[in-house]
Amino acid sequence: MRALGAFLIAVLLSAASPVPAQTPGPAHNFTISNTGSEAIESVQISPPSNNNWGNDLLGSSEIIEPGQARTFSITGCAQDVRVTFMDQQAHIWRGYDTCLTSLQAAATPTQPTSGPPHNFTISNATSRAIEHIEISPPSDEHWEADLLGPTEVIAPGKSRTFTITRGCPQDVRVTFVDSSQREWQNLDTCASPELNVGQTSPV
């Protein structure tokens, strides 16, 4: 009977013991090469599970000049990578395998205008403030720079008008202050010059 009691106590203690945390693996080097004509001013690398990009790995003064490269020490292979050039073009790679490959980043050439410049208004019909707006042509593989900048937001019930000069079809991504996002693909901003976020469903 005493042996049975000792066995039960051991089982209970084992069940109560915390499970050791999973480690992301050893650190490895990951190199970003600037193959474009503009200097890179910001590099942010985050696990895909993170909602926030985190700190700029270049700091406030370092840049990567055209033709130069910079190596970073990171943990975990699959990473989201955002590179911002001096002209404010921001390129994003999702789930990039940093263990097997380096990254060659080049600024996207300016695309010719395929339609007249026109105004496009985004209205916030939700209860959350919008802190990021990215609008890119559907042919562009990467999102362009945040049109609201680092401090501006669109409060609930407010709107903001932008001038688009690269044609009517556009991909639109809106990020709220809680880091949730909504996307519209191939939206005709000429035929529909206003987007009511919260009343219009993403495509």
Q: Render pLDDT for 12-45 as a digit per residue (tens, 0 to 9).
A: 444 444 444 444 568 899 999 988 888 999 999 9
Give how far the C-alpha of residue 186 lies from the chain's centroid of Cα atoms, to the nearest Å.
Answer: 19
Q: Render pLDDT for 91-129 as a digit per residue (tens, 0 to 9).
A: 777 777 888 778 888 755 444 345 667 899 999 999 999
The secondary structure of 3-43, three-state, reads HHHHHHHHHHHHHHCCCCCCCCCCEEEEEEEECCCCCEEEE
What is the reported pLDDT for 107? 57
What is the reported pLDDT for 110? 41
Alpha helices in the chain (DSSP H): 2-16
Q: Render pLDDT for 146-186 as a digit per residue (tens, 0 to 9).
A: 999 888 999 999 999 998 877 788 899 999 999 999 999 88
Q: Which two tokens stand for residue 73?
A: 């020490």
Q: What is the dihedral of CA 96, 92, 170, 130, to 10 degrees?
A: 120
Distance separating alpha carbons of residues 190 and 97, to the nearest angstrom: 38
Residue 131 has pLDDT above 90, yes or no: yes
What is the reported pLDDT for 19? 40
What is the reported pLDDT for 25? 64
Hey, what domains does the chain have and what are their CATH numbers?
27-105 (2.60.40.2890), 118-197 (2.60.40.2890)
Within 13-129, strands assigned E span: 27-34, 40-46, 69-75, 78-85, 90-97, 103-105, 118-124
Q: Render pLDDT for 56-93 as a digit per residue (tens, 0 to 9).
A: 999 989 999 999 999 999 998 888 888 888 887 777 77
